[in-house]
Amino acid sequence: MRLSELLGAEVVDEQGRGAGRVHDVRLEQDGPIIGGFGASLRLAGLIIGWRALGARFGYERASMMGPLPVKLLVGWVHHDGRYVEWDRVRAIEPGRILITGSADDLPHPSAAS
Amino acid sequence: MAGRVLDAGLDLFDRQLLDKDARLAGKVDDLEFSFPEGGGPPHVTAILAGPGALAGRLGGRLGAWLEGLANRLRDSQERRPARIPFGVVKRIGSCVDLSVAKEELETDRVDAWIGDHVISRIPGARHAPE
Amino acid sequence: MRSRIAALLLVAIVCGCTGPVRSFNVYASKGGKTAKAVVSAVETARLAVSAAARDRAYGRYLGQVLAEAERDATAAQGTFDAIQPPDRRTDRLREELDGLLTPTLSSLADLRIAARRGDLVDLPRLAAPLAGLSKRLDDFAQAHQ
Amino acid sequence: MRKVFEIALGILTAIGGFVDIGDIVANTETGARFGMSLAWVVVVGVVGICVFAEMAGRVATVSGRPVFDLVRERLGARVALVNLLASFFITFLTLAAEIGGVALAIELATSVNYLLWIPLVAFLVWFVVWRVKFQVMENVFGLLGLALIVVAVALWRLHPDWGGLIHGATHPAVPKGEGHPTWWYFAIALLGAAMTPYEVFFFSSGAVEDGWTRSDLMVNRANVYIGFPLGGLLSLTLMVMATLFFEPRGIEPGHLSQVALSTALVLGKLGLAVLLVGFFAATFGAALETALSCGYTVAQYFGFQWGKFVRPTEAPRFHLVTLLSIVLGAGLVLSTLDPIKVTEYSIVLSAAALPLTYFPILLVANDPDYMGDKVNSRLGNAIGSLYLALLLVVAVVTIPLMILTKAGS
Q: What is the pLDDT of residue B125?
A: 79
Q: CB of D296 within 8 Å of any CB in chain B?
A: no
Beta carbons within 8 Å of B68's beta carbon, 6+ residues apart? none
Neighbours of D58 (CB within 10 A): 26
Three-point CA angle D191, D196, D201, nearest 5°: 150
- Dist. CA A4–CA D90, nearest whole Å: 30
State what percent of residues in chain C have pLDDT above 70: 85
| Chain B residues inside the 8 Å CB shell of A112 | none
Query: Which pLDDT does position C92 carry in this prediction?
Result: 87
Helix D228-245 / helix D39-63 crossing angle, nearest 10 deg:
160
Nearest by CB to residue D306, choosing from B24, B114, B122, is B24
Mean pLDDT per 10-residue interval, chain D, length 409 residues: 83 89 95 95 96 93 90 88 94 96 94 94 95 90 93 95 93 87 95 92 92 88 92 95 95 95 95 96 95 96 90 90 96 93 94 92 89 90 94 95 87
Task: Give pLDDT, residue A81.
Answer: 78
Spatial contact of D147 and D281, defined as CB atoms under 8 Å apart:
yes
DSSP, res A106: P
Which residues of A have a CB under 8 Å from any CB of D?
56-58, 61, 63-70
Residue in B with minimal Cα distance to A90: B41
Q: Do D370 and B94 touch (CB under 8 A)?
A: yes
Strand pairing category for A10-12 and A96-99: parallel
Half-sphere exposure at residue D374, Cβ-oriented, CA atoms within 13 angstroms: 21
Min Cα separation B38/chain D (Å): 34
User: Minimal Cα–Cα distance from D337 to chain B, Å?
Assistant: 30
Banded model confidence at residue C14, pLDDT cuts 50, 70, 90: very low
Domain annotation for chain D: domains and CATH numbers: 2-404 (1.10.4160.10)
Q: Which of the pair, D282 or B104, is modelled with greater confidence?
A: D282
Instruction: For residue B43, give the nearest of A42, A47, A87 by CB distance.
Output: A42
**Residue B48: which region, alpha, beta or left (left: phi > 0; alpha: psi -120 to 50)?**
beta
Read off the pLDDT of each residue in B113-119 and give the average, rounded to a whole number: 82
Compute the mean pLDDT over every residue in chain A, rounded to the nearest whole number: 82
Q: How many CB pairs under 8 A join C and D?
A: 98
C9 with D89: Cβ contact below 8 A: no
Predicted local confidence at residue A69, as pLDDT? 83
Mean pLDDT of A75-86: 78
What's residue A62's pLDDT?
65
The three-state secondary structure class of B24 is: strand
Segment C79-104 shows an average pLDDT of: 89
- The letter for the amino acid at D220 is N
- Chain A residue with Cα closest to B35: A1
- Is the confidence at residue C21, as pLDDT, over 60? no
What's the rounded Cα separation, in Å, for the pair B35 and A42? 10
Question: Following CA atoms D262, D266, D271, D272 in sequence, which dihedral angle do they give, to the nearest 10 degrees?
Answer: 40
In terms of CA atoms, which chain B residue is nearest residue D310?
B128
Measured CA to CA, the distance from residue D246 to residue C40 in angstroms comes to 9
Residue A58 has pLDDT above 90, yes or no: no
Cβ-Cβ contacts under 8 Å for C108 (sequence gap 6 or more): C41, C42, C45, C66, C69, C70, C73, C130
Sign of CA dihedral A54, A57, A63, A68: negative
Alpha carbon distances (Å) from B79 to B53, B60, D207: 11, 18, 39
Tell which wins on pLDDT, D127 or A18. Answer: D127
Distance CA C114, CA C59 (A): 10
DSSP string covering D124-160: HHHHHHHHS-HHHHHHHHHHHHGGGHHHHHHHHHH--
Backbone angles phi, psi at B41, to 5 degrees: -70, 150
Instruction: Mutation target for B interface from D78, D374, D375: give the one with most B CBs within 10 A.
Output: D78
pLDDT at D401: 93
> CA-nearest residue of chain D to C116?
D111
Distances in Å between the Cα of D91 and the Cα atoms of B52, C29, C123, D87 are 27, 37, 42, 6
Q: Which residues contact C95 (CB under 8 A, 6 or more apart)?
A: none
> C44, D90: Cβ pair inside 8 Å?
no
A102: Cα within 13 Å, side-chain hemisphere = 2
**Reported CATH class of domain B8-121:** mainly beta
Which amino acid, one-letter code, is at A72? L
Domains and CATH numbers, chain C: 30-143 (1.20.120.660)
DSSP result, D335-395: TT--HHHHHHHHHHHHHHHHHHHHHHHHHHTT-HHHHGGGPPPHHHHHHHHHHHHHHHHHH
- Which of A25, A53, A63, A73 would you mutate first to test chain D, the one with the most D CBs within 10 A? A63
Chains meeting A at 3+ CB pairs closer than 8 A?
Answer: B, D
CB contact under 8 A, A26 and B12: no
According to DSSP, the residues that pair with A43 across neighbouring strands are A27
CB–CB of D312 and B15 under 8 A? no
Closest CA to D264 of C71, C111, C62, C40: C62
Please say whether the structural domain A3-112 has been given the CATH code 2.30.30.240.
yes
- Cβ of A41 within 8 Å of Cβ of B6? The answer is yes
- Among the partner-chain residues A56, A63, A65, the one whose CB lies closest to the CB of D76 is A56
- Considering the entire predicted model, what is its pTM? 0.91
Residue A61 burial (C-beta neighbours within 10 Å; 0-12, 13-18, 19+): middle
What burial letters (b/e) apply to D260-270, b meaning 16+ CB within 10 Å? bbbbbbbbbee
**What pLDDT, on the 0 to 100 scale, is given for residue C18?**
47
Where does residue B127 rank: exposed (0-12), middle (13-18), buried (19+ CB within 10 A)?
exposed
- C20-29: long-range pairs with CB below 8 Å, 24+: C20/C84, C21/C83, C21/C84, C21/C85, C21/C86, C22/C86, C23/C86, C24/C86, C24/C87, C24/C89, C24/C90, C27/C83, C27/C85, C27/C86, C27/C90, C27/C93, C28/C90, C28/C93, C28/C144, C29/C144, C29/C145
pLDDT tens digits, residue range C124-135? 999 999 999 999
Of the candidates D90, D252, D262, which has its C-beta nearest C40's C-beta?
A: D252
Residues facing residue A22 across a β-bridge: A48
Give me Rg for the CA atoms of chain A: 15
Q: Is residue B2 predicted with pLDDT exceeding 90? A: no
Confidence of residue B75 (pLDDT cuts 50, 70, 90): low
Cα D272 to Cα D20: distance, rounded to the nearest angstrom: 18
Integer Cα distance of D108 and C68 in angstroms: 11
Q: How remote is the C-alpha of D87 from its chain's centroid? A: 14
Query: Helices in A14-87 by DSSP H: which ranges?
Result: 68-77
Instruction: Evaluate whether D175 touches D243 at the Cβ level (below 8 Å).
Output: no
Nearest CA in chain A to D372: A63
Domain boundaries, chain A: 3-112
Nearest to A58 among D363, D376, D385 (CB): D363
For the beta carbon of residue A92, count every other beta carbon within 10 angstroms.
Answer: 14
Q: Which of A7, A61, A64 to mutate to test the interface with D (most CBs of D within 10 A)?
A: A64
CA of A16, closest CA in chain D: separation in Å? Answer: 30
- What pLDDT does residue A37 have? 83
For residue A89, CA distances in Å to A20, A83, A108, B40, B97 come to 14, 12, 17, 12, 32
Q: Report the C-alpha gap between D131 and D149 in whole angstroms.
A: 29
Sequence-separated (6 or more) residues with CB below 8 Å from residue B65: B55
User: What is the distance between the alpha carbons of residues D305 and B105, in angstroms, rounded to a whole number?
Assistant: 14
Is residue B82 within 8 Å of residue B106, measured between CB atoms? yes
Q: Tell me: cis bond preceding A67? Omega within 30 of 0 counts.
A: yes
Asked if A53 is an interface residue toward chain B (Cβ–Cβ < 8 A), one would say: no
The answer, for D131 touching chain B at a CB cutoff of 8 Å, is: yes
Which residues partner with B48 through β-bridges?
B30, B83
Greater confidence (A51 vs B100) lies with B100
> What pLDDT is recorded for position C1?
46
Q: How far is C139 from chain D (nearest CA, A)?
A: 12
Quote the crossing angle between the two packed helices D316-334 and D256-302, to the nearest 10°: 150
Which of these, D190, D188, D199, D194, lies nearest to D53 by C-alpha position? D199
Q: How far apart are CA B25 and CA B19, in angstroms?
A: 6
Beta bridge partners of D321: none
What percentage of chain C has pLDDT greater than the value 90? 66
Handedness of CA D157, D158, D162, D165 (dihedral sign): negative
CB contact under 8 A, D108 and C50: no
User: Shortest CB distance from C3 goes to which of D86, D262, D267?
Assistant: D86
- C10 pLDDT more than 80: no
Closest-CA residue of chain C to D400: C9
**Which of D81, D305, D308 faces B24 most closely, judged by CB atoms?**
D305
Q: Which chain A residues have a beta carbon less than 8 Å from that of B44?
A: 27, 31, 40-41, 43
Interface list for A 75-104 with B (CB within 8 A): 86-87
Distance between CA atoms of residues B101 and D396, nearest Å? 46
Give DSSP secondary structure letters for D181-194: HHHHHHHHHHHHHH
Chain D neighbors of B127, CB-CB under 8 A: 311
D304 near B26, Cβ under 8 Å?
yes
Cα–Cα dist A11/A95, whole Å: 9
The SS3 call for residue C56 is: coil
C-alpha to C-alpha distances, D296 to D54, D91, D138, D258, D318, nearest whole angstrom: 19, 11, 16, 34, 7
| pLDDT value, residue D328 | 97
D71 near D360, Cβ under 8 Å? yes
- Rounded Cα–Cα distance for residues D109 and D97 (Å): 19
Nearest to A60 among B7, B8, B43 (CB): B7
Whether the CB-CB separation of A71 and A109 falls below 8 Å is answered with no
> CB A24 to CB B9 under 8 A?
yes
Identify which has the larger pLDDT, D241 or A88: D241
Within 8 A of D254 by CB-CB distance, chain C residues are 72
Chain D nearest-CA distance from B108, in A, is 9
Q: Report how far residue D41's alpha carbon sits from residue C128's, in angstroms, rounded to the nearest whole number.
A: 40
